[in-house]
Chain A
């Protein structure tokens, strides 16, 4: 400290910003294209129907993960409770499919067993397919909008927000379990038979549903790519890094955050909705705090702030969960816990940050080698 007083202050040139070719901005599109080719061309050709169905489920997690990447990675809001929105979408879809399975004017089986045998009024609209699709988008948007406004306008942030969002998910899952008359309780909604009129067990239809899920993932990635390039994307990152400065510049950071939170919620809901026809059921376990945390784990593993990272991470965690819990059901929890500790401690920006770094390091050593070669 004292040395700076006596020694002349060295003025060094400001570090030059890395030169970026305009084409570089479109690099993520190449990544999306590669992923799209893998999901839509290679996987359907190479995988068995069962494996493809599983991959479809991971795609649903990935759709939710893209939203988490937007809210958490770019917006700095740790959304610990995305299971809530995943669950809203899933239960909306589940209710529609359950009513389809029951047939017109009939009541789902569990309501005969546990309830009064009369369809509650708020179930009735879910007989309509278009209403269900609308509900899958609108309900989470409204819930997230109201909650976001209540929280962010009062400048509640950071850990407070994370805890509140998790508490809400825990409460929602508990509600699903207890309101057995309306939700099927612990078993949830199962024995579904059709998807908008198409038989769920027909292999051709199964493949179609997979294509819808994988296609939706690609679409979500493209939407997010465009969002990241927009002014909104810039503002979101600015809010994450220096909320006060954004406020001083005349923007309301709360509005920016609410928009990002709503988009993330809708994505989670869409993922949840597509999850149901592939899993053939939905139950509170898929909505719980642990399910939400698994989504976060995927995002952290892949790289929270990158575009493709969350999706790839979620696919990897989904795959890891299936294959590990097939062989060692108990070890999976250790693995998930260890994954969190290692990834967050040592590679906070995820795997997608490691690969370019390694690539650059490799490229630079090659360059120096050639230089040395020229000198010799």
Chain B
């Protein structure tokens, strides 16, 4: 029983990190039909931002909190740059953006390796995240709980932004019907850039979060990106609700499968489960109902 609870919580924290990455992916994919393979490198940029912030501030208690907005901006600006320079030129070739952004991801990975060295960097966890909190008899590490709380906070912020602000309304309008949104005066170009900024920024925040559970290195993005894509695929594209359920579902499933078998077997099994799941629901958990044939 203890094992079940501990694995469930470990999985939930991993799922929370996945959710942060997948939110941005799901947004940009849903709105622009663009697959951004460099999204994982925005996560890496966020993690290195946390590392650099710690180097500069030196006070670990304070630097992690400070790193969150910094990472958001760094990753967001990188995303914005990518959108303006590359992706905006090829909106009519969605599948090709996947390859171009893969190229960008290779370049960014190598650049990080050259800048920070091939060795993994450790970001020190702040002292106030040192303890554990007893939940249902399991001593839940505060650092893992922090990831969960951070993800929920970002999710709530995102949902509020989409629901209550003018920007959010415009984003939703663009997702639902781009042409119609444009006709009523929404600058979809501007909205695209904004969405890309926010989506990439969230990956940066995720990067700060995962410094608490993994080492910071140049290839860390490619590890998470596949999982995040599986979340998006299983949850349904452009669906926050689906992304939440899929992220926690996959995260917890991964924890249990890793416990019962091993890390790589867990990847294989999860993949097979996702393919089997897509047999039941080819559009993911929640599909936008449409009469279009495509």
A residues in contact (CB < 8 Å) with B: 76, 78, 80, 147, 150-151, 154-156, 158-160, 162-164, 166-168, 170-172, 174-175, 177-179, 244, 289, 293, 296, 300, 330, 333-334, 336-341, 344-345, 348
Contact = CB atoms under 8 A, between A and B. Distances in A.
Interface residues of chain B: helix, strand, loop or mixed (majority): helix
A163 B99 contact: no
A150 B279 contact: yes
Interface string B252-284: 000000000011110110010011001100100
A340 B264 contact: no
Nearest to B267: A171
Contacts of B114: 330
A166 B226 contact: yes
Contacts of B229: 163, 167
Given A80-B98, A154-B279, A174-B263, 4 more contacts: A178-B265, A333-B109, A334-B106, A337-B106
Contact of A178 (B90, B106, B262, B293): B262
A154 B283 CA distance: 9
B127 interface: no
A178 B263 CA distance: 8
A151 B274 CA distance: 11
Contact of B95 (A150, A158, A338): A158
B262 A154 contact: no
Given A167-B271, A174-B264, A340 B278 contact: no
A301 B263 CA distance: 36
A248 to B, nearest CB: 10
Interface residues of chain A: helix, strand, loop or mixed (majority): helix
Contact of A341 (B100, B113, B262): B100
A344 B100 contact: yes
B179 interface: no
B98 A330 contact: no
B104 A341 contact: yes
A340 B106 contact: yes
Interface of B: 29, 35, 86, 89-90, 93-96, 98-100, 102-107, 109-110, 113-114, 222, 226, 229-230, 233, 262-265, 267-268, 271, 274-275, 278-279, 282, 293-294
B223 to A, nearest CB: 9
A178 B269 CA distance: 14
Nearest to B227: A167
B92 to A, nearest CB: 11
Contacts of A76: 95
A340 B107 CA distance: 10
Contact of B99 (A174, A330, A340): A340
Contacts of B102: 293, 337, 340
Contacts of A341: 86, 100, 103-104, 107
B37 to A, nearest CB: 9
Contact of B268 (A175, A336, A338): A175
Contacts of A174: 263-264, 267-268
Given A159-B29, A340-B103, A341-B104, A170 B226 contact: yes
A177 B264 contact: yes
B282 A154 contact: yes
Contacts of A163: 35, 226, 229-230, 233
Contacts of B109: 333
| The 8 residue pairs across chains A and B that have the minimum distance between CB atoms | A340-B103, A337-B106, A174-B264, A337-B107, A178-B264, A333-B110, A154-B282, A337-B103
A336 B233 contact: no
Contact of A158 (B94, B99, B113, B267): B94
